[in-house]
Each structure stands twice: as structure tokens, then as C-alpha cells.
Amino acid sequence: MPELPEVETIARGVHERVRGDRIVQAWFSGFPQPFKTPPEKQAAGLEGRVVLGVHREGKHIVVELGNRQQVGEAQWIVHLGMTGQLLVTTPDGPVAAHTHARLSLASGRELRFVDPRRFGRLEFRELHGSEGFGAPGAEPLTIVADEFAALFRHRKLSIKAALLNQTLLAGVGNIYADESLFRAGIRPGKRAGRLTRAELERLRLSLGEVLRHAIRLGGSSVSDYVDADGVRGFFQLEHCVYQRTGLPCLRCEAPIRRILVAGRGTHYCPECQR
């Protein structure tokens, strides 16, 4: 499943390639599952609009669309789900199986949404002057210390479960939860409400560091991942603990352990994390 850095990388890549372009025609597959807005309604809303920009909100990709004949601005919201891909191609590029949307652009390129498992979602919204789509949780890259500490105050669940809770923080998944807890020296099973202010601040900084590092590397998902040009094969981030069960800790050489926390495989160093 793409995590925040992958979604950020894709959003940036699509932004660079389609900003300022105009959607000439929109085609959608007949499959009902990928659409939060009926395909006919999406097509009618998208055609003729100019792409103002593309950005990430939590784990959603938001395509900002300009005015068209005085009907105001709109958004096209793409959630990649487990296997979704948003690709910028030429129209003669081979159409992958499970392509659910093709937007023809005035530049001659196409923006395509491909999703074999169909857990992804496509939505179209007219803004009517409203602010538009916002992810439910706080943004981990910009959250400040007080706000971060307040998220976990009095919480009885484990810190790992709290990090994965999308209503608290948007976009943090299993890999970056484990990696940031290792860097902060905190046991994943520790109760969130028991963390000291100093620990929480270490965790906030570590989380920001691992996410930014992964974004610089272009995302590090170990599952299906293709960037905006359809190039597969982003290198994997050098994980310190994630999926390194039994291997020596990079800091102290103690074997990395794997346990279940919040139902998820969780990796940590028994010496470095307390």
C-alpha cells in the first residue's frame, strides 16, 4: 500500500507534468467500485477544465481544477488504495489492464488511473467557494510540537497503534511507524499516554526525518509502486528495523525483534528502544 512519501512523490510528479494543461476528454471504465462520484458526472465535470495544480492531502492526491464557464473551481480526488497508479503517458502508450480512467489533455498527453485490486477511489467535487477536500488527521510533515503532544495525551492505546490511526495523523503506515519509533528510541508497544514530552518531541522529529528522507528518495514502498511516468523500481529506503527480523541492529548489533502490535507486524530493537 502506498504510504505518505509515495503519494507525495506521485503528486509532485503529476503536478510537474500536467499543471496548466487542459482536460479535453474524460473516459471511465464501467466498473462501479473505483468511483465515489458516478463516472458520467466526473466526465462532465472534468472536461474543459484546466489543471491548476496537484498536491497531496493525507494519502489522497488532489487535482485542483480551474473555473469553467463561470461554474467555479473544482477538485478531482484520487485515492490510490492498495494498488492504484496515477500515470502520465502519451495516448499511444499501451493501455494497461485495469485502467479505470483516461483523461486526454490538450498537450496531447494522458492522465491515467490504473488499479487492479480496485480499492482506490476517484471523486469529483465542485467547490462552490468552499475550501475543498481535507484529510481527517493532522499533517505529519508540518505539525508543531504542542499539537503533536496533544494528539497522544491520555491515550491508552500503544504508540504504534496511535501512529497508524489516520484520524490522529494522516498518512503514516507500518514502515514509517516502525522506523520513526526506532530512531526515537521508543518501544512500539508503550502506551501513547505514558510518553514524556521529550519522547514525543523525539518521535515528532524522527517521523518528519524518515518521511522527508523517503520523499527525497522518491518513496520506498515495497509493494506495487510506479511513479507518474510509469517507471517502476524505486529503490527501497534503507530500513533500520522494518523487515530486518533477526538481523543485527545497525546501532548496537542486538538482533531485531518482530512482534504483533495493533495486529500489525512490528519491528524493533530490544536494546535501543525503551
- Decide: residue 142, CB within 10 A, 0-12 exposed, 13-18 middle, 19+ buried: exposed
Residue in 249, 261, 262, 267 binding Zn ion, rule: CB under 5 A = 249
Any catalytic annotation for residue 32?
no
Verify binding: residue 269, Zn ion, rule CB under 5 A.
yes
Residue in 40, 223, 271, 274 binding Zn ion, rule: CB under 5 A = 271
Verify binding: residue 181, Zn ion, rule CB under 5 A.
no
Tell me the CA distances in angstroms from 101 to 7, 228, 264, one per residue in order: 18, 15, 33
Count of residues of this chain found to bind Zn ion when the rule CB under 5 A is applied: 7
Verify binding: residue 252, Zn ion, rule CB under 5 A.
yes
How many whole angstroms separate alpha carbon 153 and alpha carbon 192?
7
Q: CA nearest 274: which of 207, 190, 148?
A: 190
Catalytic residue (one of 17, 56, 59, 112):
59
Give the interface segment with Zn ion, choosing from 28-36, 211-219, 228-236, 253-261 (CB under 5 A): 253-261
Verify binding: residue 251, Zn ion, rule CB under 5 A.
yes
| Diameter of the chain measured on Cα atoms | 65
Any catalytic annotation for residue 3?
yes
How many whole angstroms separate alpha carbon 162 and alpha carbon 174?
11
Nearer to Zn ion, 112 or 187 (CB): 187
Catalytic residue (one of 2, 34, 39, 188):
2
Tell me the CA distances in angstroms from 165 to 21, 106, 174, 268, one per residue in order: 36, 40, 11, 19
Give the interface segment with Zn ion, choosing from 8-16, 70-78, 104-112, 242-250 (CB under 5 A): 242-250
- Sign of the four-CA dihedral 208, 209, 214, 220: negative
Binding site for Zn ion (CB under 5 A): 249, 251-252, 254, 269, 271-272
Catalytic residues: 2-3, 59, 264
